[in-house]
Amino acid sequence: MHILILNGPNLNLLGQREPQIYGTNTLNQMEESIKKVAQPLNVQVDFFQSNSEGAIIDTIHAAKDKGIDGIVLNAGAYTHYSYAILDAIHAVTTPVVEVHLSPIYQREAFRHHSVIAPACIGQISGFGIDSYRLGLLALLNDLEK
Ligand code: DQA
């Protein structure tokens, strides 16, 4: 299996950005923790982060041709209003699991709605960097069905 962990805007600042909400682990540390889960399972993992909506969309489009079987996506704030990312996920056959570090349903009202959720196979939120690990396991479980 070959999985992509795709991170959207402001997640490059993980560790320093509002640590009371998003934790003190950096994006790099999250990636290392994912590698530890993936390695014994023989899963190849790629990582990509962009602050640009277009780059995220291009990456979703290109995934299949790069041999990627599924995507774990934290679209950041785009989650709540990017119909373009929703359409991109609908446009491809690559399964996507939506993840969030923070418990989005316990936060401001605008975070309670995910416009990308209808195109994703499932959603995990509120477990900090463990949301990615859980998202990866859920994705692998789905792919193996
Ligand atoms: C987030 C939640 C979003 O509402 C926010 O805009 C983010 C991060 C999370 O991982 O908790 O940038 O996706």
- Torsion-angle region of 58 (φ positive above 0: left; ψ -120 to 50: alpha; else: beta): alpha
Confidence band for 31, pLDDT divided at 50, 70 and 90: very high
Nearest-atom index, ligand 1, CA of 103: 11
SS (H, E, C) the chain: CEEEEEECCCHHHCCCCCHHHHCCCCHHHHHHHHHHHHHHHCCEEEEEECCCHHHHHHHHHHCHHHCCCEEEEECHHHHHCCHHHHHHHHHCCCCEEEEECCCHHHCCHHHHCCCCHHHCCEEEECCCCHHHHHHHHHHHHHHCC
Expressed as residue numbers, the domain containing 83 is: 2-144
62-84 burial code (b ≥16 CB/10 A, e <16):
ebeeeebbbbbbbbbebbbbbee
- Ligand 1 atom closest to 77 (CA): 6
- For the stretch 32-43, pLDDT in tens is 999 999 999 999
pLDDT for 10:
98
Extract the tokens encoding 80: 């709540």
Written as one letter, the residue type at 38 is A
Matching residue, tokens 């949301």:
131
Check residue 38 and give its pLDDT: 96
- Å from CA of 49 to ligand 1 middle: 13
The proportion of the chain whose per-residue pLDDT surpasses 70, expressed as a percent, equals 100
113 in catalytic set: no
Model confidence pLDDT, tens digit, residues 66-118: 999 999 999 999 999 999 999 999 999 999 999 999 999 999 999 999 999 99
Protein residues whose CB sits closer than 6 Å to any atom of ligand 1: 10, 74, 76-77, 79, 100-102, 104, 111
- Residue-level pLDDT at 72: 98
Question: Ligand 1 centre and the CA of 76: distance in Å?
Answer: 4
Instruction: Report the chain's C-alpha Rg in angstroms.
Output: 14
Beta-bridged to residue 90, according to DSSP, are none
Domain at 63, CATH number:
3.40.50.9100
Instruction: Give 112 Cα–ligand 1 centroid separation in angstroms.
Output: 11
Per the structure, how many domains does the chain have? 1
Question: What is the pLDDT at residue 43?
Answer: 98
Q: Which atom of ligand 1 is nearest to the CA of 99?
A: 10
Of the residues 61, 81, 83, 100, only one is catalytic, namely 100
Assessment of whether the complete model's pTM goes beyond 0.95: yes
